[in-house]
Chain A
Amino acid sequence: MQPKIASLITEIDNVELIRDQIAAILRLELDNQVALAQAESVDPAPWTVDVYTERSGAFESGLNDPNRKTPFVNVWIDNESWDRSASNVMERQRGNAFINVDAVGYGTRKPGEAGDFEAATSCQRVLRLCRKILMAAPYTYLELRGIVASRWPQSRTYYQPTIDQAPVQNVYGGRFTMVVDFNEFSPQTTPETLEVLAVQLQRAETGEVYFDAEYNYT
């Protein structure tokens, strides 16, 4: 059997594109929120968030700084499935992907404020910003019209770390799951020129339609 796909497959799948687009939108809009806060002479700290994609390594930022405050989000693909009834077997498959936006907030106890409460509210604030940004009207199709059919906030879950020994830092995690319906395309057969053909359609006074065709014979 001979290979049928003649060109190198270099394009990423649309689910990967959507994950990167979600992260890019969050980065762009959060930076803009910081700029807006600064323009209004407001402390931009509540809008300052580090954004990562597909992060699996441990975050070491707090190792030497127990008073670390900057929360972070990690955008990653959880799973995807395809709807056969809305697809065709040749070219286009209608996909449905769950993309998680995980957030971690930090807190430090100080006079008048409990560290665990600060960590929880920091994480909840970040996921609130993520939901508002990703569900904003201008991002109905995540700026990927033709690929994305719809996006929807599936769920928001919070986790309280349960460990035997309380750590010095207060850390609180949460997950915002976006579900996205989109089209995934597959490599197609490269067309081959069989014959060059020139045609002309003419309509007679009687209304009858004539089809003139010109063939190049060699």
Chain B
Amino acid sequence: MGLRDLAARHFQQFAADTERGFGWSVRVVAPDGQELETSGFSTDIAQLIDPETGVSVSGRSASVAIPLQVLQDAFGELPQRVEAQNQTPWVVEFADILGEPHTFYVQSSDPDRALGSLVLMLGAWDAT
């Protein structure tokens, strides 16, 4: 097994390890309603947004990294931004470290086909 295959395998192992590693439970919902309970690396951190008016606005940056293979097997395709406003986007749900659940939509998708990971940049989703 080459080092690249080994790295991809390690990534899958690390992302799945929610007991001793940094793996975190994540729920992915496709536009057609199909759901996947899996795990990955999730982030949800504060970020200053600069609207270029000279006054910054406090905001958040959230993303999740999930093995490509897991998503491909579950959905037959990779999550991506849904451009049409009248269509349901890909939705990602996960809890923060305090246990509070948060729901996001997929703003952009960055697949890494070398290591086998998919990083989803997330935006605020108001389903109500």
Residues in A lying within 8 Å of B, measured CB to CB: 55-63, 66-67, 74, 102-104, 108-115, 117, 159, 161, 163, 165-175
Contacts and interface: CB of A to CB of B under 8 A. Distances in A.
Interface of B: 44, 46-63, 85-86, 88-89, 104-105, 107-108, 121-128
Contact of B124 (A60, A108, A173): A108
Contacts, number: 111
A168 to B, nearest CB: 4
10 contacts: A59-B56, A63-B60, A66-B124, A104-B57, A109-B89, A109-B105, A115-B123, A159-B53, A169-B49, A169-B124
B85 A167 contact: no
- Specify the main secondary structure of chain A where it touches its partner: loop
Contacts of B49: 161, 163, 167, 169, 171
A116 to B, nearest CB: 9
B57 A111 contact: no
Given A67-B124, A110-B127, A60 B58 contact: yes
Contacts of B55: 55-59, 74, 102, 104
A165 B47 contact: yes
Contacts of B57: 58-59, 62, 104, 169, 171
Given A58-B48, A58-B58, A111-B127, A104 B104 contact: no
A66 B122 CA distance: 12
A175 B122 CA distance: 28
B53 A74 contact: yes
Contacts of A112: 85-86
B28 to A, nearest CB: 17
Contacts of B46: 63
Nearest to B56: A58
B110 to A, nearest CB: 10
A169 B53 contact: no
Q: Which 3 A-B pairs have the closest CB atoms?
A: A173-B51, A159-B52, A66-B124
Given A104-B53, A171-B51, A59 B108 contact: no
Given A108-B126, A110-B127, A161-B52, A63 B89 contact: no
